[in-house]
């Protein structure tokens, strides 16, 4: 397909008429996926550097994100079946495995003997943080699938629905991170509950959208929720940064990653963008054909 042809998408909460975008949905997601992997690389690099990468397997989640980002960029350049697509599929599958193993290691670090204690979950390594690899890997795997605009359920393509579900899972995992991060303060400030409720609410809305027939009200609610998530992320970043700087005038990395982690709230802003991107549902560009090319 020539790049001059505009792709048609349905954005039920934004406009009743199809919108036109001069780029495939798959390429948009791949580009943003590569950016997310690089952000995760920076986050994990600094966090694990505090332990001096001991044990040695702490290098794995540092080395992997740049490789995954490269895989996404290569597929962005050439989004066609072949070695590039296979490499992207394998890479993201490995990312899911790394996330699951990382969750297991972090959970083990939070345990006291054979039991996982609440105090262990609220201190030390962020137990649910490795699930970001599971979410990114899942989204990366889904981008490898073909999207058939004529094959729809609940008026959404299967690929769009699965991307909505993957983003819902990520919101839920982020809500858990926010809960155990703020539990160490005893939720003395009522507004520390906001990201917890925001994550759970956004996860539910995305889940409902994936399994609901067309309803403009729900779609508008989804769009509004994603915008609120973006704002909550920015406000959380400001609050965390203020706490890290309080009475010091300088930033200590240990405070940023283990007391008021500055990058974590921005995940809500990131997920707000993801929710908007994955809801970009492709329409059939060739009405006289049963299927259209990948979108």
Q: What is the pLDDT of residue 2?
A: 40
| Pair 151, 157: CB distance under 8 Å | yes
pLDDT band at 215 (very low <50, low <70, confident <90, very high): confident
Find the helix packing angle between 158-183 and 194-210, rounded to 10°.
Answer: 160
Mean pLDDT of the chain: 79
pLDDT (tens digit per residue) in 189-199: 888 899 999 99
- Max CA pair span of the chain: 67
Bond from prior residue into 55 cis (ω within 30 degrees of 0): yes
H-type alpha helices, the chain: 25-49, 60-77, 83-109, 118-121, 131-143, 158-183, 194-210, 216-245, 253-258, 266-278
CA distances from 63 to 44, 67, 81, 96, 154 (A): 10, 7, 26, 15, 40
Task: Give how far the C-alpha of residue 33 lies from the chain's centroid of Cα atoms, to the nearest Å.
Answer: 9
Instruction: Check pLDDT > 90 for residue 226.
Output: yes
Residue 175 to residue 99: CA distance in whole angstroms: 17
Q: Which residue has the higher pLDDT, 183 or 21?
A: 183
The length of the chain in residues reads 295
- Residue 119: pLDDT band (50, 70, 90) is low
| CB neighbour class for 248 (10 Å; exposed up to 12, middle 13-18, buried from 19) | exposed
* Predicted model pTM: 0.79
The whole-number pLDDT of residue 258 equals 53
Q: Which residue has the higher pLDDT, 116 or 227?
A: 227
Q: What is residue 150's predicted lDDT score, i.e. its pLDDT?
A: 72
């Amino acid at each position: 397909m020539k790049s001059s042809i505009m792709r048609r998408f349905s954005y039920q909460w934004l406009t009743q008429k199809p919108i036109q975008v001069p780029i495939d949905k798959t390429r948009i997601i791949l580009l943003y996926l590569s950016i997310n992997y690089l952000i995760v690389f920076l986050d994990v690099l600094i966090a694990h550097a505090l332990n001096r990468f001991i044990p040695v397997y702490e290098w794995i989640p540092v080395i992997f994100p740049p490789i995954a980002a490269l895989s996404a960029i290569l597929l962005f350049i050439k989004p066609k079946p072949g070695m590039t697509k296979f490499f992207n599929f394998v890479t993201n599958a490995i990312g899911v495995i790394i996330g699951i193993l990382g969750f297991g290691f972090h959970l083990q670090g939070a345990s006291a003997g054979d039991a996982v204690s609440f105090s262990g979950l609220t201190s030390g390594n962020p137990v649910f943080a490795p699930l970001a690899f599971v979410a990114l890997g899942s989204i990366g795997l889904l981008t490898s699938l073909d999207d058939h605009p004529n094959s729809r359920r609940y008026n959404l393509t299967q690929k769009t629905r699965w991307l909505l579900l993957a983003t819902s899972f990520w919101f839920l995992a982020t809500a858990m991170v926010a809960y155990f991060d703020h539990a160490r303060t005893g939720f003395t400030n009522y507004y520390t509950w906001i990201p917890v409720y925001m994550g759970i609410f956004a996860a539910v809305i995305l889940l409902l959208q994936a399994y609901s027939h067309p309803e403009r009200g729900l779609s508008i609610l989804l769009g509004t929720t994603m915008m609120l998530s973006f704002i909550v992320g920015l406000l959380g970043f400001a609050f965390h940064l203020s706490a890290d700087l309080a009475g010091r005038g300088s930033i200590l990395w240990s405070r940023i990653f283990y007391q008021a982690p500055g990058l974590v709230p921005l995940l809500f802003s990131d997920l707000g963008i993801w929710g908007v991107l994955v809801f970009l549902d492709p329409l059939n560009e060739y009405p006289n054909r049963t299927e259209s090319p990948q979108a």
